[in-house]
Structure 1
Amino acid sequence: MADETSAFVIPLHQVPRKRKDKAGADRATAPRPRKKRKAPAVAAAAAAAAAVAAAEPEIQFPESLIPPEFLAADGAMAEPPAAQPLAVTVRQSEPVAPTQTVAALIGPATPSHHRLAPAILSTAALTLGAVGITINGWFARSLGSSDVAGWLFLAVGVAADLVALVLPSCAAGLWRSRQRSTALVGWTVWLLTFIFAVAASIGFTSTNITDVKLSRASRVTPAIASAQATLSDAMAARDRECKGGVGKFCRERETAVAERRQMLDSAMASVEAAADPQTEAAIKLVSWGSRGLLNPAPEDFAMLRLILLALLPQIGGILLMVGQRSRSRV
């Protein structure tokens, strides 16, 4: 009988079965404790790295083939560095009021009436200057004996009034720029032109006022008409009575004519007094306001009115200087 032999294959080298190092695997896969406070960006990066590590296949090595120092180094590299908080220093400035900021940017507010007043004053000065130029030109031309002389006087009057209008502003500017001698010369020239302009204004005013008064005084009112008719009748009766000689009845008619003439003169005087009602009203007002202490005559008020009407059109240059100075300060 053949010997039954059983063949056994005995491997020459038997590789020991790999054992899973639970301690190493736990050390590799177990989440490491993290700090509670991390920056949002660092925490997101750590979560992404953990997800990638969980998706990759795990390679395990036997404990005998992995040196302990590598494991320690691997743990140190796996732990992300702790985020250091950034120290930001915010410097807070002192609070500034909104009104102070606006005032510093745009400057102090100027009321509208402060800007309007210089403009109105300059407009009034130019208006008075135009009136003064017209007055001086008209009166200067009326003094000429011929047309050529009249036009020459007109040119002199207009030029003098223009100088009186603009010279105060120029002289004041020269004085502020410390050119005192030139400024004094300018003021001297202005004084001469001012006197010339005032003289022309006095002539213009007195001429027109006299013409108006004569025109009003020559009016024939019903009282004057009645007095004139009565006087005419009295004169006719006298002439008839005195034709044969001077006697008793003739003398009576002469007396009647004298009475009628006085009545006519009284009527004409009342009309002449009414020709200038401003003077009469001003005299009554002054007497009433002073309780009778002041009783000016009609000539006093007439002179005051003449001075005012002559001076006012010639102060346009002074007003223009004041208006420009006020506008520069606003």
Structure 2
Amino acid sequence: MMQPKDTEFLAGGPVVPLRPEASKPKTAAERAKAYRARRKASSKRSRRQGTGGLTTAPVAPVASAAETAMPVRAPSITSTVLTVAALCLAAVSIAMNGLFARSLGSSDVAGWLLLAIGVAADIVALVMPSCAADLWLRRQRGAAAIGWGAWQLAFAFVVAASVGFASSNVNDVMLERASRVTPAVTAAQAALTDAMSARDRECKGGVGRFCREREAAVDEQRRAVDAAVRAVSKAADPQAEMAIQLVGWVTRGMLRPSIDDFVMFRLFLLTLLPQIGGILLMVARRANTRGHPQSCAK
């Protein structure tokens, strides 16, 4: 009897198939289970082998959103020059206000304390505008408002000190110039002395026609002395005289400021200009940044 060709009998054994039966296709669940088993076996082999044959590469730090939003430009020539000008004005202001504040002290200790107050106020007036602007751009409105309030107090202090320093020094120089004795003043005073001597001689015997003439001569010589002194006073401040004439010439006579007007305008400039170093520094810093600055608030 013929046996099927796909199987054969072994002595004393079961039937062994010569051709394996075709496997049934796996379901989706079976494939997922097999895939998890392979992944698990692969991870176990990796742990047993350690890190041999693996290489590590340095990972670059990822910039935060705050850093990427605040790019900084390379300092330009104009911003650098503006920063230098601001620091120079600040140095002049510190020297002026510190010296004037120290001169108000009744003793050495009081003078040094006032000097420290003046220097500290100038530093606040220099740095605070930049920090307050940074806080405002970071939407920290309350802190920025407090900063601007502190700057106003410091600015008022340094302006008052600058007024004292500028006015005292300018007035001292003008008085010194006005008190100079010129040849014209000397001649006028000598003529007045001679006229007074002649009047005394003529009026010794009584008041008459010649005595009254001598009195008139004395009055004339006194007016000459006053005119010579006024000329010296005008020469003591030629800037004021020329500025008044320039304003009248430019406006064709429509404006005729007095000497006092120009003196106050000059005092205003000498007082205010050294105190704008903080504003200039803020503008120079903003010119170098395209986003929110990073210096004063973290």
Q: Same fold, TM exceeding 0.5?
A: yes
Q: 2:217 is paired with a residue of what secondary structure?
A: helix
Q: Equivalents in 2 of 1:207, 1:256: separation in Å?
A: 40
Higher relative contact order (CA 8 A, sep 6+): 2
- Alpha-carbon deviation of 1:244? 2.9
Map 1:108-147 onto structure 2 (within 5 A).
115-147=76-108
Q: Equivalents in 1 of 2:207, 2:112: separation in Å?
A: 63
| Residue 279 (structure 2) pairs with residue 318 (structure 1) | yes
Per the alignment, residue 265 of structure 2 pairs with 304
Superposed CA RMSD: 1.6
Q: Which has the larger radius of gyration?
A: 1
Per the alignment, residue 58 of structure 2 pairs with none
Q: Equivalents in 2 of 1:156, 1:245: separation in Å?
A: 69
One-letter amino acid matched to 2:170: I
Q: Identity of aligned pairs, percent?
A: 63
Per the alignment, residue 206 of structure 1 pairs with 167
Deviations 1:123-166 (CA, angstroms, capped at 9, x unpaired): 00000000011111111111112222111111111111111111
Q: Equivalents in 2 of 1:155, 1:252: separation in Å?
A: 66
**What 5-or-longer segments of structure 2 have no aligned partner?**
1-72, 292-298
One-letter amino acid matched to 2:231: S
| Residue 186 (structure 2) pairs with residue 225 (structure 1) | yes
Q: 1:315 is paired with a residue of what secondary structure?
A: helix
Q: Equivalents in 2 of 1:115, 1:164: separation in Å?
A: 25
User: Size of the alignment, in residue pairs?
Assistant: 219
| Residue 236 (structure 2) pairs with residue 275 (structure 1) | yes
Q: 1:219 is paired with a residue of what secondary structure?
A: coil
| Residue 196 (structure 2) pairs with residue 235 (structure 1) | yes
Q: Equivalents in 2 of 1:149, 1:242: separation in Å?
A: 61
Q: Equivalents in 1 of 2:212, 2:106: separation in Å?
A: 53
One-letter amino acid matched to 2:212: R
Map 1:54-69 onto structure 2 (within 5 A).
none
- Alpha-carbon deviation of 1:236? 1.3
Map 1:254-293 onto structure 2 (within 5 A).
254-293=215-254
Q: Equivalents in 2 of 1:252, 1:281: separation in Å?
A: 40
- Alpha-carbon deviation of 1:298? 1.1
TM-score of the aligned structures, taking structure 2 as reference length: 0.71
Q: Equivalents in 2 of 1:319, 1:115: separation in Å?
A: 15
- Alpha-carbon deviation of 1:291? 1.1
Counterpart pick for 2:156 among 184, 187, 195: 195
Deviations 1:191-232 (CA, angstroms, capped at 9, x unpaired): 010011111111111111111111111111111111011011
Q: Equivalents in 2 of 1:318, 1:129: separation in Å?
A: 11
Per the alignment, residue 255 of structure 2 pairs with 294
Deviations 1:36-91 (CA, angstroms, capped at 9, x unpaired): xxxxxxxxxxxxxxxxxxxxxxxxxxxxxxxxxxxxxxxxxxxxxxxxxxxxxxxx
Q: Equivalents in 2 of 1:123, 1:329: separation in Å?
A: 21
Per the alignment, residue 29 of structure 2 pairs with none
TM-score of the aligned structures, taking structure 1 as reference length: 0.64
- Alpha-carbon deviation of 1:288? 0.6
Per the alignment, residue 40 of structure 2 pairs with none
Q: Equivalents in 2 of 1:304, 1:329: separation in Å?
A: 38
Q: 1:299 is paired with a residue of what secondary structure?
A: helix
Per the alignment, residue 84 of structure 1 pairs with none
Per the alignment, residue 123 of structure 2 pairs with 162
- Alpha-carbon deviation of 1:295? 1.0
One-letter amino acid matched to 1:291: R
Deviations 1:6-27 (CA, angstroms, capped at 9, x unpaired): xxxxxxxxxxxxxxxxxxxxxx
Distance of aligned partners of 1:263 and 1:172 in 2 relative to their CA distance in 1, 3 Å threshold: same
- Alpha-carbon deviation of 1:180? 1.1
**What 5-or-longer segments of structure 1 have no aligned partner?**
1-109
One-letter amino acid matched to 1:218: S
Tell me which stretches of 4 or more aligned residues in structure 1 moved more than 6 Å.
Answer: none
